[in-house]
Amino acid sequence: MDQRVAIVTGASSGIGKQIAKDLYRNGMEVYALARRVYSMNDLDDLGIHTMHLDVTDHDEIDQVVSKIVAETGRIDVLVNNAGLGTFGSVEEVTLSEGEYEFKVNVFGLIKMIQAVLPVMRKQHSGRIINMASMAGKISNMLLGSWYVGSKFAVEGMSDSLRQELKPFGIDVAIIEPGAIQSEWKDGAVDRMMAASGSGPYASLARRSAAFMAMSYKFASTPRVVARAVDRAVFSRRPKIRYVIGTGARPAMLMKRFLPDRVMDAFFAALNKYAQQVVNMETAQNR
């Protein structure tokens, strides 16, 4: 029997790199794709295939997937991990920046799926693992409208896709992480402060940044996400959703049972508390 083949996007660091390592260790032939190929030399050393891919370049997606199919003759797993966090007020984040957020998080993800589906349908088997977020269910992230919107889109499209692909033997699973140690937080905060760090939303930007700083002190390791992906890939009957990582399960339970206004009030108080903590720590370090 041919070795099963997995594709992992966004594999140059953090979560994606750990997913690629775990799938390889569990016996799969893994293709790790990312823009920063130079950051994947350690994956090459392990025997993982690394290739350049910008998920916003649809022609490159077709070329890369075609090359993988030519080399292996099959694709068994697609892990759509590539993602971006664009934070800042809706008023101040430019439309081009917002569009790019959706190009990466939504349209790049869908184009990857379109590229692998002909092969998976022919095989009458396959697993598509979409990296969503607790933000795909919990919309109370201060100044996170663009990011939240993109992850809500991933959730909804995955649910619909799951039904249309079931007759072809293809499963769709969603990973919903909470706070995870990665480069994502720093990039999200930098973009938020660039967009809204001065002007009418500056105080909210500082409050949101303080909340992220406090939350990520307790962030789970990328291995937590990689293990959830392993379960989604190797289980005979994978779950539809895997809720993992710091803060994800409590927030999901609150969303399920509490009214929206109570959720708004809770997260507003949490952001305010985080800013107070950060202000106290800053004062103590002076």
Strand partners for 51? 33
First to last CA, the chain: 64
Cα–Cα distance between 14 and 11 in angstroms, integer? 8
**Considering 147, 201, 216, 242, which one is annotated as catalytic?**
147
Contacts within 8 Å (CB) and 24+ apart, 99-102:
100/56, 101/146, 101/147, 101/150, 102/146, 102/149, 102/150, 102/153
Query: Which of 176, 227, 172, 171 has its CA nearest to residue 19?
Result: 227
Cβ pair 21, 48 in contact under 8 A: yes
Cβ pair 62, 97 in contact under 8 A: no
Tokens of 252: 């999901």
Q: Tell me which residue has tokens 């797993």.
A: 77
Cα–Cα distance between 147 and 191 in angstroms, integer? 12
Query: Which of 43, 81, 39, 44 has its CA nearest to residue 228?
Result: 81
147 tagged catalytic:
yes
Helix-strand-coil split of the chain, %, nearest 5: 60, 15, 25
Distinct helix (H) and strand (E) counts, the chain: 11, 7
Q: Tell me which residue has tokens 């990973």.
A: 175
Which ranges of 80-171 would DSSP assign to H, the alpha helix?
Answer: 95-102, 108-123, 145-165
Tell me the catalytic residues. 147
